[in-house]
Structure 1
Amino acid sequence: MGAVVLVLAAIAVTGLSVAWLVNRADAIQPVALPTAGKSIETVSPSVKPSETPVPNGRVVGTQMMAGNSDTMPVMSSAWGNAVERTGLTGGAAVFLVVHPNYNGKKSNWGNYVSFGQLPVEIPFSTTPAGMKQAAIQIGARAIANLYDKDAVILKGTKHTPITVAGHRGHEIVARVQVKEPMLKETFSTVMIAVIDRGNGTAAVSIADIAGSTPAWQNVWRFKVSQIKINP
């Protein structure tokens, strides 16, 4: 999947699932144990079940649906379903091939957009500084997952406060240097939007747009403006 991703910046989108715990000690009734044979291991009735996993995101028709049912329209019908690789929780993704088989080894280079929730381990606060910091951290994770933690960020990174359907957020736009043998691209534009969901969590969309296809940047912004937060 083509293109390098983020670095610095902030804004994002997401919602998180809540862990549930159960203690069944009071429901256990005493039973007679066998008098012969192998002894039975003692099992604590208070052992708690593992945390309920967050549902996976998916593409449903013309919408990317996060695990918490937030939605964002896909970029266009030309974009296909893809694996979410930027590190979002309950995320979905779409991909558009820009350079098919660019290196003669059946490798495609293209544009990538993901949508989901800010991971719970990344701190989030609803202040402008808090949203920016969250965007920077999810950006660093996305870069490491998609490309390399040592990716070169070119000058001109921009931070912009945004509002999506009445929810405040933060947008980051950065250019990442691209050096791939036989690829006619010198940079990719990485765009990050972090959106306050209003309940202490954030929705996030990340775009990785080839430098030769700048028109998709405004398409992504328009699609971000149509994000719907699940109450």
Structure 2
Amino acid sequence: MVDRPSGGSVHRARLIGALALVLVAVLTTVFSVSWLWTNAQAVSPVDVPAGNAGDVKTISPSVKPSPTPTPEGRVIGGLFYNGLNDTMPMMSSAWSSEADRTGLYAGMGSVLSVHTKYDGKENWVNYVSFGGLSKDIPFTNTPAGLKDATIKAATAALVRLYDPNVKLIGKATHRPLTVDGHAGHELTIKVDVRKPKLPETFSTVMVAVVDRGDGTAVVSVADISGSTAQWLPVWRTNVSQIKFSN
């Protein structure tokens, strides 16, 4: 036997049921608004789909976008291009393109063989690179800031081109630069490279850092064997011909 409620009980039951539905709707609205403001900056705006509410499927907004890859440097038509499309002339057609070895941002390099298989195995080369200042090096466009960034860029290049125990000859020389109206700084230092069977005693490493005008800087590094010093003024001329994309 089923127990049936009286008429008054039915009315109260309907009223309570209606209030419960209203409460659920309010709570659902509050939850939805809270979710929207909590996650508004985590998702991109999208077009609202047409159709009934039942056609819309719930998706997770927690997927994070993949990081933007670092731009790559390249060589085109005798020019170095860094990741921001600034350019610097290559040394000459006798040099071949090479990956950056000096820790630059979106950089590219080039090499010229000076002593082929000097020890029966390895080639001794001149090396030049062009790119942006590493993101790990602080930079301010002041004489002191340019000098400090150049010293740090030169230190990184020396460790990468040689090793942390690289032997330097004498003291570094410094001079201010101006390239296409942009302030810069140049550092020059000699490196002891004496090795068995190598007909060289030193190389000259030169580093130039030039302000781009937007809070960043471009860098060029040259590592030139002592017996081929004629390439040093060529590098300086090419640095003076850097063109900025901005």
TM-score (norm 1): 0.81
Question: Displacement of 1:150 after TM fit?
Answer: 1.2
Higher normalized helix content (fraction of residues): 2
Residues 140 and 149, structure 1, Cα contact 8 Å, conserved in 2 = no
1:25/1:95 CA distance change after superposition, 3 Å: closer
Larger CA Rg, structure 1 vs 2: 2
Q: Which residue of 2 aligns with 1:24?
A: 43
**Contact 1:25–1:46 (CA under 8 A) maintained in structure 2:** no
Q: What is the CA–CA distance in structure 2 between the aligned matches of 1:149 and 1:220, rounded to whole Å?
A: 25
Tell me the TM-score normalised to structure 2 length: 0.77
1:191 to 206, 218, 222: 206
Shift of 1:199: 0.5
The match for 2:152 is 137
1:208 to 223, 227, 231: 223
- In the alignment, the residues of structure 1 paired with residue 139 and residue 63 of structure 2 have an alpha-carbon distance, to the nearest angstrom, of 31
Matched with 1:55 is 71
Q: Distance in 1 between matches of 2:68 and 2:61?
A: 19
Matching residue's letter, 1:88: L
Q: Which moved more, 1:22-31 or 1:203-212?
A: 22-31
SS of the equivalent of 1:183 reads coil
2:197 & 2:111 partners in 1: Cα distance?
21
2:131 to 104, 116, 121: 116
Report deviation, 1:121.
1.7
Which structure 2 segments of 5+ residues have no match?
A: 1-40, 50-55
C-alpha displacement of 1:139: 1.3
Q: Which region of structure 1 is more displaced relative to structure 2, 23-32 or 79-88?
A: 23-32
Q: How does 1:1-231 map to 2 (within 5 A)?
A: 23-24=42-43, 27=46, 31=57, 45-105=61-121, 107-231=122-246
Deviations 1:162-185 (A, max 9, x none): 100110000000001112221011
Q: 1:188 to 1:168 in 2, by over 3 A?
A: same
Does the 8 Å CA contact 1:23/1:47 hold for their aligned counterparts?
no
CA separation in 2, counterparts of 1:165 and 1:214? Answer: 26
> Do the aligned residues in 2 keep the contact of 1:90 with 1:117 (CA within 8 Å)?
yes
Would you say how many aligned residue pairs link Structure 1 and Structure 2?
199
In the TM superposition, what is the alpha-carbon distance from 1:25 to its structure 2 partner?
6.5
Q: What amino acid does structure 2 have at the position aligned with 1:207? A: A
| Partner secondary structure for residue 157 of structure 1 | strand
Q: Which residue of 2 aligns with 1:15?
A: none
Runs of 4+ in 1 over 6 A off after TM superposition: none
Would the alpha carbon gap of residues 170 and 23 (structure 1) be closer, same or farther in structure 2, given more than 3 Å must change?
A: same
CA contact (8 A) 1:209 1:216 kept: yes
Task: Give 1:23 shift.
Answer: 3.1
SS state of the match for residue 184, structure 1? Answer: coil
